[in-house]
Each structure stands twice: as structure tokens, then as C-alpha cells.
Amino acid sequence: MGQLFDELAFILQRLTISGMVDLLLVTLIFFAVLSFLRNTRAMVLLRGIFFLYFLIALLIAVFDLPAFSWLVRNAIPAILVAIPVIFAPEIRRALERLGRASQFLRATKSQKEETDVIAAVTHAANRLSERRHGALIILQRFDSLEEFVETGVRLDADVRAELLLQIFYPNTPLHDGAVILADAKVIGAACVMPLSSTGVLSKPNERQMGLRHRAALGTSEVSDAVAVVVSEETGAISVAFGGRIIQRLGRERLEGVLRAFYKPLQSEAGIEYFLTRYLPFLVPEQKDATEV
């Protein structure tokens, strides 16, 4: 025990400020990587790789295995080449997020526009819920959704509850797909959104959710948009944001959740938005976001 303390004291005596900064940067990189991979299938694969590495290191340390050690040493270059192929979707998503980092300097919207959008979406979602008309409404924030707008019908109309009700009326030309809202405008309808591939909705108690919920969750995984879903079967209202989904929201709670997710972050200072969007582990969680 005394030898352990002596070794720790030896290390601390030689720990300089530059060394502490070096360790901090490495720690932040690991946190950022784990944050990007959280709730994805790659996290399961990463745990398997860590377990296999630990098992191999233990075997080599305990037993004298020259042939096995030679095989492991020569296989490492191939593994390093395979990692970008295996984690290609996650790497692409991370690079896309970093590429959007310049958008945190964008000017914020007026409070009146945000309030009008939230009020219109809340009113429309509750009316659609009462009628059990399925709907998927995407509220664009900082990340551009232009590539998804191109998959549907481009519009340039003011956000109105009546317009949203008409779009999602059954058997109308634009009811099948998502509506995308940006800058207090309906910029696209009948848009095709990416489906979630994390398996979050594969749990037994989540299997009643259909493609709209998977599309809402998938959109929240690849962008910072807020997705509102109305179930056609049950009329239940859900909100997806940041790779998570909140279900069975009433009128008051829906409005509160939209204000928590959509409005406050729009008015953040640039550096606060950057930390919240790209380094979320450095920002305290908003406890009232899901408890409104």
C-alpha cells in the first residue's frame, strides 16, 4: 500500500500544467466520441471491441503465447483500417455536426415569431389528436433540413393551425409525409424523413409506434430539430428531440415541452448554443424540459 502511495506521489510531482491540459483534452475527446455514439448500434459494437481487447491483453499477460501475440500484432493494422468502415455512419454524422458549427453565429428569431409557431403547432396537434389524424411536424432550428425539403413539395406559407389541419386531412395530396417549419414558415410538405436506426422503438412497449415515430426520432438523431408526432391509431401526441422521444402529451404539457426544446435554445448566445449542441456533456441538463 505504501508503495502505491509513493508511486502516486511520484506521478503528481511530475504533473505540470501542460500535462494537465493534455489529459483534459484527451478526456474531452473521449467524452465527445462517446456522446456521438450514445444510443446507437455502434455503442454495442464498441463495447464488444473493448471487451475483446481486454480479454486478449489478459491472455497475453498471463500466458506465454508467442504465436498468438504475433497474430494480434499483425492484425492491428487491419483493425485500424476496418474501424472507419464499421463506424462510417457515425463518423459521417459527427463530421456533419462539426460542419454545421459555423451556424451558431446565426441571428436569433424574434420572440413573437417563436410564440406564434408554438401556438399554431400546439393547436393543430391537439385538433389532429382529437380527430385521430396522423401527422408529423418538424420544427427546424439551427441545422438546415433543406435536403429533406427537396424530397417533398416546397411551400412558402405562414404557419397557421388551419393550414396544418388541411395538410394532414386524410387522403389529401400532402397528408402522407412530414411538414417542415422554418422561420415561421411552412417550407415543405409530404417530405421524406430519415428513419431511426438506434432500436429505441424496438422495445416491447414501444412497438405500437409506426413509421411516423421512427421518422421523428430519426430526424432528431441527425439534426437539432424538434419533431411533433400525432398517432393515427391512438391520437397520442409525442415529441422527439435529441434522439429521445416523450410520449402521451396533453395540450398544456405539449406547449411547455415545445417552449423548453424549441424556444430557449433559439435565444442562447453563440458559445452557449455551440456547447449545448456539440459538447452536451459540458452543459448542465435542463430538468424542466421533460417535467413541464
- Which structural domains are found in the chain, ordered by start? 2-102 (no CATH), 109-268 (3.40.1700.10)
The backbone torsions φ and ψ at residue 222, rounded to the nearest 5 degrees and listed phi first, read -100, -5
The whole-number pLDDT of residue 288 equals: 43
**Dihedral of the CA atoms 123, 127, 132, 138 (nearest 10)?**
-20
42-95 pLDDT, tens per residue? 666 677 777 877 888 888 888 888 888 888 888 877 777 777 776 676 666 666
Angle 270-278/88-99 helices, nearest 10 degrees?
Answer: 180
Nearest Cα to Cα of residue 73 among 90, 57, 58, 89: 57
CA 36 to chain centre: 8
Residue type, 254: L
The whole-number pLDDT of residue 187 equals: 95
> CA gyration radius for the chain?
24
The whole-number pLDDT of residue 39 equals: 57
* Three-state secondary structure of 157-211: EECCHHHHHHHCCCCCCCCCCEEEEECCEEEEEEECCCCCCCCHHHCHHHCCCCH
Residue ranges of the chain with per-residue pLDDT less than 70? 1-2, 4, 36-45, 86-87, 89-114, 198-208, 263-292
Which residues on adjacent β-strands are paired with residue 228?
Answer: 137, 239
The whole-number pLDDT of residue 73 equals: 80
Distances (CA, A) of 77 to 74, 80, 81, 82, 235: 7, 5, 6, 9, 53
The whole-number pLDDT of residue 264 equals: 43
Q: In what order do the strands lie in the sheet with 178-182?
A: 153-158, 185-191, 178-182, 135-139, 226-230, 237-241, 244-246
The whole-number pLDDT of residue 283 equals: 47
The whole-number pLDDT of residue 263 equals: 62
Distance separating alpha carbons of residues 51 and 60, to the nearest angstrom: 14
The whole-number pLDDT of residue 35 equals: 72
Name the strand (E) or helix (H) holding 72: helix 66-86
Distance separating alpha carbons of residues 278 and 47, to the nearest angstrom: 23
Name the maximum alpha-carbon separation found in the chain: 78
196 in Cβ contact with 93 (< 8 Å): no
Pull the grid cell for residue 243.
Answer: 434522439
Kindly state the percentage of the chain with pLDDT values over 90: 30
CA 19 to chain centre: 33
Residue 106 three-state SS = coil
Would you list the DSSP string of 11-49? HHHT--HHHHHHHHHHHHHHHHHHHHHTTSHHHHHHHHH
